[in-house]
Amino acid sequence: MVAGRAAVVGLGAWAVFAVVGVVAAGGDGAPLPVDRTLLSWSLGHRPEVALAVARGVTATGTGPVPYLLVVLAGVLLGRTARLRALAAGLGVVSLAVGQMVRYGLMELAARPRPPRLDWATAASGWSFPSGHTTTSALTAGLVIAATLLRAPPGRTALCVVAGCWGVLVGLTRVYLGVHWFTDVIGGWLYAAGWLGVCLYGALRWLPPDVVRGLSGPDAAAGAPEGGAERSYSGGRDRPPA
């Protein structure tokens, strides 16, 4: 049931992503009205302090930071050393392969970035979908999934922080003038689709004992050796009828 819902959500997000991609890349990648409006707004609201904060936030959306967060999420999710290593490895592979596919989509769309004179940070490559947005959204989704499955204390706050970070990284790309807003929307949609498909694949093809170990409650914590029935094996210990 969960696997089927994940697949539906993932494929639905990719369907919307395809529509946005066709619209964004059409007409030689010309910006849409919302793209022009938000870029114009950012150009008129760039105090130095805000620019410094935006550059700091956007820097966390690429490089080693997302991979470190995914590894930490895997360590959080696993209940044994083997499961921690497996969860961290699967998360890193999911993030890396998702980025590789995204590179291919960028080459396919070949959408130009906003004018270089409007940039407030360095950038390279094509514009759609936004790479920083995609990477941070994938990372945030993996962290949130691990948190919800493991259910540690303070999980709500952790999920909110991860989600807000993923959104803010995307918005900084528009604020810094290196992406159109529809590039950011595309990054979010692509990430949602990739996460849905990865979740479906994990639930569908991982061994059942691994799925239980990553998603089920802790097994018989504090239970006596040999199970509950052994404590009643002797005549004296047998409970009254």
Residue 218 has pLDDT above 60, yes or no: no
Distance CA 142, CA 134 (A): 12
pTM attached to this predicted model: 0.85
The pLDDT of residue 146 is 87
Distance CA 173, CA 175 (A): 6
Which is more confidently placed, 203 or 37?
A: 37
pLDDT tens per residue across span 58-108? 999 999 999 999 999 888 887 788 888 988 999 999 999 999 999 999 999
Distance CA 220, CA 157 (A): 28
Q: Residue type at 225?
A: E
